[in-house]
């Protein structure tokens, strides 16, 4: 596998090895020891799967406390996947990175705890999977406004399909910084 650093430290792009022939292909989608050696700490304690239609935007979400590191990929279709650094004190606070994940490219993205995460479906539909390093705690969830002008994410859809929760999310500058995870130097 190949691991590539994104423009945000600790957000990693993973290109797994794909072994294919006329019958199809094989991909090792996770191997604890190899991923840990590549800087993806785990352990992962919950797996999630979502099916979404074109132009569905899910996010931007995070948990604090009970921060979740996420290893995400697409099993069917294609999405534009985004991570935003929301750790006060971080030199990258409010910055984002986005990549295309698809069943075709088989890439993965690792988003550490302390980053908001979201994706927008660019194909007819997408089957999206993610491993989480912490269980879901609804009382700890924070939703960040998907089109926060201070962050400036360039989404592939100007009028995405949103949940009510995501429509009512706040811009980053209106979220009490005491609710956000702190940046810690290594």
Which domains are assigned to the chain? 6-15+43-163 (2.60.120.10)
Can you tell me the mean pLDDT for 97-121?
Answer: 97
Decide if pLDDT at 31 tops 80: yes
137 carries an active-site annotation: no
% residues pLDDT > 70 (the chain): 99
**pTM, entire model:** 0.94
141-143 sheet: strands from edge to edge: 96-102, 78-85, 115-121, 57-63, 141-143
Catalytic: which of 30, 61, 66, 183? Answer: 61
pLDDT given at position 9? 86
Can you tell me the mean pLDDT for 158-170?
Answer: 96
Mean pLDDT estimate for the chain: 96
Can you tell me the mean pLDDT for 150-161?
Answer: 96
Decide if pLDDT at 186 tops 80: no
130 carries an active-site annotation: yes
Catalytic: which of 66, 92, 130, 136? Answer: 130
């Amino acid at each position: 596998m190949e691991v590539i650093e994104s423009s945000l430290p600790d957000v990693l792009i993973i290109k797994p090895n794909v072994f294919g022939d006329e019958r199809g292909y094989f991909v090792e989608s996770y191997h604890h020891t190899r991923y840990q050696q590549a800087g993806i700490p785990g352990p992962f304690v919950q797996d999630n799967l979502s099916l979404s239609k074109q132009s569905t935007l899910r996010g931007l979400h995070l948990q604090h406390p009970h921060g979740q590191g996420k290893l995400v990929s697409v099993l069917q279709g294609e999405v534009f996947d985004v991570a935003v650094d929301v750790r006060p004190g971080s030199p990258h606070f409010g910055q984002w990175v986005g990549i295309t994940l698809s069943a075709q490219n088989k890439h993965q993205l690792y988003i550490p705890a302390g980053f908001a995460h979201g994706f927008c479906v660019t194909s007819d539909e997408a089957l999206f999977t993610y491993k989480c390093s912490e269980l879901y705690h609804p009382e700890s969830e924070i939703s960040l406004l998907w089109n926060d002008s201070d962050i400036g994410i360039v989404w592939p859809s100007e009028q995405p399909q949103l949940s009510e929760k995501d429509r009512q999310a706040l811009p980053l500058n209106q979220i009490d910084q005491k609710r956000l995870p702190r940046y810690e130097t290594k």
